[in-house]
Amino acid sequence: MKRRSLFGAAALVALSTAFSPLAAYAQDKLTIALIPGLTTDAFYITMQKGAQAAADALGVELVFQGAPDFNPVTQVPVLDAVIARAPDAILIAPTDTTQLIEPLRKAHDAGIPVITVDTFIGSGVYQTGAGDADFPLAYIASDNVLGGRIAARALAAAIGGEGKVYVSNVNPGISTTDQREEGFKAEMAEFFPGVEVLETQFNENDANNAASQLQAVFARNPDLKGVFGANLFSALGAANGVQQAGQSGIIRVVAFDAPTSIVDNLSTGLVDVAIAQHPAEIGYYGVVSAYAHLTGNSIPVSIGTGFTIITKDNVSDPEVAKYIYSD
């Protein structure tokens, strides 16, 4: 069952020598590695659970290995170490659209199939023969442009279609959060002429930065009406900033992602809407896709997972609450 081309085996020896003294993963089962954006994020913890469910069902070994922060500088050494141990496939949420291309090509050149989950490299359009980053087999994720549009509609509704808002975002160069901002701004420009979108504030995935930035934007714009937190830490920090400024329910907050720390703030009115992704599905279909490929089946080049819009009115419905992330 274990797949390894001769070329892959030779490359593996070279990579093992170059990067890690660790032995290859166990040979008795297929081993699929999942490398998240960072390990301590409820989004990726939930993705791991979905991946583990599929791994258990299929009898494969899942290895979850990642960095403590969302940063290519810390993610690339983890990737190198995983490649050196020769898993049968790699699922990865690349932390930068360009900086992960060459590191991932090493896996591809070593004969290890690569599937990106959540985020993508290059344009995210794979297997077309075009560009330098189309070698991953598949991309499994939310439709992040649509997610940004949903956020814009929700925030525009919360502020009555008028006033100043801004996007609290992570860093430029991350496919998911770039696309959410793009969708948010496009929806506002097309359908909500009364909404003024101020300059985006980049917080480096640090909720404390996002909270300070909220207060600084509010100090400069006392008529600030709302904020879109484009991922978990951006939203959490922005909401904390609103609370610290004594503006709960006045500056409206739409959050991307749905950890308990955000969902708990729906009932108090601090957060209006939490847009839950379905990370468990991303992990589940990631493992299923890798397994299908490794056992000789064709797989879709792109799989889209959905959203669940959580508000104080539906949060106690079990069919909604099941999408709250695991901590």
Q: Looking only at residues 55 through 94 of this chain, which bind ligand T6T when binding is defined by CB under 6 A?
A: none
Q: Which of 8, 143, 174, 168 is nearest to 75 (CA)?
A: 174
Q: Looking only at residues 248 through 267 of this chain, which bind ligand T6T when binding is defined by CB under 6 A?
A: 256-257
Partner residues linked to 140 by β-bridges: 117, 303
Q: Does 283 bind ligand T6T (CB under 6 A)?
A: no
Q: Does 233 bind ligand T6T (CB under 6 A)?
A: yes
Gap between the Cα atoms of 65 and 59, Å rounded: 19
Q: Looking only at residues 31 through 50 of this chain, which bind ligand T6T when binding is defined by CB under 6 A?
A: 37, 41, 43-44
Q: Does 119 bind ligand T6T (CB under 6 A)?
A: yes
Kindly indicate which of the ranges 20-28, 49-57, 186-194, 228-236 contains the residues binding ligand T6T, using the contact rule CB under 6 A.
228-236
Question: What 3-state DSSP class applies to 261?
Answer: helix
Q: Does 116 bind ligand T6T (CB under 6 A)?
A: no
How many chain residues are in contact with ligand T6T, going by CB under 6 A?
Answer: 13
Residue 253: count other Cβ atoms within 10 Å of its Cβ: 32
- 245: phi > 0 → left, psi -120 to 50 → alpha, else beta; which? alpha
Which residue, 84 or 133, is less far from ligand T6T as judged by CB?
Answer: 133
Which residue, 231 or 240, is less far from ligand T6T as judged by CB?
Answer: 231
Which residue, 247 or 277, is less far from ligand T6T as judged by CB?
Answer: 277
Q: Does 176 bind ligand T6T (CB under 6 A)?
A: yes
DSSP symbol at 269 = T
Which residue, 103 or 229, is less far from ligand T6T as judged by CB?
Answer: 229
Which residue, 37 or 50, is less far from ligand T6T as judged by CB?
Answer: 37
Q: Are 140 and 115 in contact (CB under 8 A)?
A: yes
Gap between the Cα atoms of 31 and 61, Å rounded: 5
CA Rg, the chain, in Å?
21
Cα angle value 198/200/205 (rounded, 5°): 150
Gap between the Cα atoms of 101 and 98, Å rounded: 6
Q: Which of 181, 174, 130, 111 is nearest to 152 (CA)?
A: 181
Which residue, 31 or 277, is less far from ligand T6T as judged by CB?
Answer: 277
Q: Minimum Å distance from CB 256 to ligand T6T?
A: 6
Q: Minimum Å distance from CB 241 to ligand T6T?
A: 17
Interface residues with ligand T6T (CB under 6 A)?
37, 41, 43-44, 118-119, 176, 231-233, 256-257, 277
